[in-house]
A and B are shown apart, each in its own frame.
Chain A
Amino acid sequence: MTDVPINKRADPNDIRDRGLSETPEERASYLRAGHTLRSWFLTTDHKRIALLYLVSVTFFFFVGGIAAALIRIDLLTPEGDLLSNEGYNRAFTLHGVIMVWFFLIPSIPNTFGNFLIPLMIGAKDLAFPRLNLLSWYIYVIGGLCTLFVLVAGGVDTGWTFYTPLSSMFAHGQVVMAATAVFIVGFSSILTGLNFIVTIHKLRCPGMTWGRLPLFVWSHYATSLILVLATPVLSITLALIAAERLFGVGVFDPKLGGDPLLYQHLFWFYSHPAVYIMVLPGLGVVSELVTAAARKRVFGYWFVAGSSLAIAAVGFLVWGHHMFVAGQSMYASAVFSFLSLVVAVPSAVKVYNWTATLYKGQIAIDPPFLFAASFIGLFVFGGLTGLVLAMLAVDMHVHDTYFVIAHFHYIMVGGTVSAYFGALHFWWPKMFGRTYPMVWGRIMALLIYLGFNLTFFPQFILGYLGMPRRYHVYPPEWQVWNVLSSTGASILGIAYLLPFVYLLWSLRYGPPASANPWGAAGLEWTVPSPPPKENFVETPVVDYPAYNYPMEMEEGARG
């Protein structure tokens, strides 16, 4: 064309206009559909909102990570020399609050769920695009409140906000911190609501429930928890705020109120919330494992159903956090039993993934390595969860480093690995570029090693009796703490690596094809990066999920 006006910037509407290092797909993609700040901050495109989340969630991961670094440095020596007693308490409180509510809960659902659910079910967007944007703004406001708490002196209640410590005794910004969590809760609720309606109402023709990718199933289960559990947390935090601000307290033991009532309400939310944190990761791993093995998942319905089972039973086990809190022993026995029941659907998932690998065509790419780390660390974290569910053992290890190790195995070893696995798997789809595989493999290995070095010693510390939330400890425990801090440094460095090579790939990475992994799923049928409206034509599905070629005929040879 000769009569093209001279334009510095590539014209997204003209496929043939080659801008600087831009592929035609990129130019037609959602990434280039509008360049102004406004086009990002007022976007209703789920893919752009996903990127907004990606940036903000990663930011909070590093804020929480810096708090973790402070904790680990302080724990290098038995005396509390780096931080004062109060300072240390503030460090782990903010670490917990930020990591749980501002990183882990929104991490996979709000970035990858947002980006992928419409693509996976053949929809143009989520059901309520403006609500989706609103939910990001609410998240940001909550985040700003947290940052305010950070600079205004912090809180020292622990992420659990136990009364009457939080409501009557703690100094610091308890009300502001509770407000931050309260606000971010609304963001969770809106996202969950959006996902539920989207999955129900916007599936493309032929996309029956039995053909949904497992990623979507697990997000469906997650959304149910988000929607049903979060309001209980909201009201609980509101009650604490009311007590601190206006002196209208319903937990005050001096008036005959019951501090355990608070704990019941808190854990009624927070135990299901741990499944909010892990179910999306489980969904990611199902995708990564099938794609790596090029094989249909073993027992689709069992894996899909187990997500719902975890969500449902997960509502019935909250009391396992209160075995030594003074609750009735019969209640404890019931909660202990139900905690074993909730392990069964997890077992189904883990063993089915293993079976999926059998006779697959396994590619040892970064996504698979992350998935494998996830499985290993989740199994270990989950099984030590069962140790905690054993009443008599929990009397010994409750509120020790054993608990810390248990949940970091699942949340960091598990979900954070899944988060990075998802990032490495869908990066080419999101940005249209591939990154050097070597670096991805190195990062996966470093995380695995650094992680185990950080948190395995904590199981031993816990069994030795080191209580959590302690920064002054007897000298004989120093060895284990030094090991743990060493591991944390490796882990910290490993987490910084992707900044280098993923950002590098944005500009210099080789362009990715529509389906670089040869994976099944609707999201791989659209160009990388996808166009603004996702699908030029509404897709029609007439094949099952994960219909990898070798499944089509029995007894194929590889």
Chain B
Amino acid sequence: MSALPFWPHEASAYSAEIDHLALAFTVLIVLLSAPVFVLMIIFAVKYRRGRTADRRHPVNSRIGFEISWAVIPFAAMLVFYVWSTRLYFQQHHPPGNALEIQVVAKQWMWKFQHPGGQREINELHVPIGRPILLTLASQDVIHDLYVPALRLKQDVVPGRYTSLWFDADTVGVYRLQCSQFCGADHAVMGGYVHLLSPSDYARWLEQAGTDMSLASQGAALFRTRGCSGCHGAAATVKAPKLEGLFGHEVPLSDGSVVTADAQYIRDSILMPHAQVAAGYPDIMPTFQNVLAEDDVLKLVAYIKSLAAEPRSKP
């Protein structure tokens, strides 16, 4: 397919499947619209005014006809509905073993942070052959990460984390674009995805290397921003310990229970009064105007790294 000038690159098995779906749908479009085009032309010629033709015809409505041309195309469409919805759901269930990369969008650039702490702007290097999970956050307005070669896009919404995952299988450099209108330089808010072989990726990681992984950068922030003053082992304030928090259920003061995922951690830091852990005073200050989105992501990575440790009870 990719050889055709009007066909975009396919960089994953998923892309190929989308293309099959789209092509099959095109066939259906032709099948459904052909009767209209063909018959309209035939009738216009055959029953042109002034031309003699047999124009006798029975009553001017046949329930049977009308039902069938409503139901048959609809039934055909249902097949495609199931097919595409299945793909979409699959796209919303990232596999557990994915390599996680954090993305922050702002007017008008893309920032990427790798788990090892490597950072890059408008360029994304990832390995093929293993699932990649992008966690997307926005600093200002809504953006949208779009990689046509992967047939994937996802809006990046301020105030919440969204995510996107893929499993690419073709090495190459592909375009990456912002496809949600985000202001003056929307049209130039783009870059490239470099799909590398695992060994090239390892090499890239090394040359881009930093001394600190994302989680340890988070740990540093945790100390410098004063979190440890309350949450640290030596703290006197009655604040929950964050070890073993991530991925576990947290009872809240209003009686409900939530699972501590990235979004929950983020909200706890930026909007601490919204969900207060049960048994604790509502005294944590907001870090809304203090921490940038990428700092928050680092803290999330750090707290996530504490997940393995046992959860201490209040």
Contact = CB atoms under 8 A, between A and B. Distances in A.
A269 B164 CA distance: 29
B197 interface: no
A493 interface: no
B85 A467 contact: no
Contact of A398 (B22, B158, B179): B179
A242 B168 CA distance: 46
B25 A467 contact: no
A472 B188 contact: yes
B87 interface: yes
Interface string B75-108: 0011011011101110110000000000000010
A11 interface: no
A363 B49 CA distance: 5
Given A324-B154, A375-B36, A465 B25 contact: no
Interface residues of B, number: 84
B3 interface: no
- Of the four ranges (under 10, 10 to 19, 20 to 34, 35 or more), the interface on chain A belongs to 35 or more
Nearest to B62: A299
A21 B6 CA distance: 58
B220 to A, nearest CB: 26
Contact of A386 (B60, B77, B157, B184): B77
B93 to A, nearest CB: 9
B273 to A, nearest CB: 9
Contacts of A257: 159
Contacts of A351: 35-36, 66, 69
A467 B179 contact: yes
B158 A393 contact: no
Interface in A204-219: none
Contact of A357 (B40, B140, B184): B40
A355 B65 contact: yes
Contact of A294 (B32, B49, B152): B49
A558 B52 contact: yes
A55 interface: no
B55 A392 contact: no
Contact of B141 (A85, A165, A460): A165
A390 B84 contact: yes
Given A360-B47, A558-B55, A156 B78 contact: no
B49 A396 contact: no
B157 A390 contact: no
A384 B29 contact: yes
Contacts of B47: 293, 357-362, 558
B253 interface: no
Contact of B70 (A168, A344, A379): A344
A395 interface: yes
Contacts, number: 273
Interface in B168-192: 175, 177-188
A341 B141 CA distance: 34
Nearest to B14: A392
B274 A358 contact: no
Which residue among B25, B83, B142, B157 has the maximum number of chain A CB atoms within 10 Å of its CB?
B142
Interface stretch (A227-235, A331-339, A421-429, A498-506): A331-339
A467 B146 contact: yes
B49 A258 contact: no
A258 B159 contact: yes
Contact of B85 (A260, A326, A333, A372): A333
A539 interface: no
A154 B32 CA distance: 43
Which residue among A326, A337, A376, A554 has the maximum number of chain B CB atoms within 10 Å of its CB?
A326
A554 B58 contact: yes
Nearest to B32: A383
A341 B77 CA distance: 10
Contacts of A35: none
Contacts of B151: 395-396
Contacts of A46: none
Interface of A: 80, 85-86, 88-89, 156-158, 160, 162, 164-165, 168-170, 253-254, 256-260, 293-302, 323-326, 329, 332-333, 336-337, 340-341, 343-345, 347-348, 350-352, 354-355, 357-364, 368, 372, 375-376, 379-380, 383-384, 386-387, 390-393, 395-396, 398-400, 460, 463-465, 467-474, 480, 550-551, 554-558
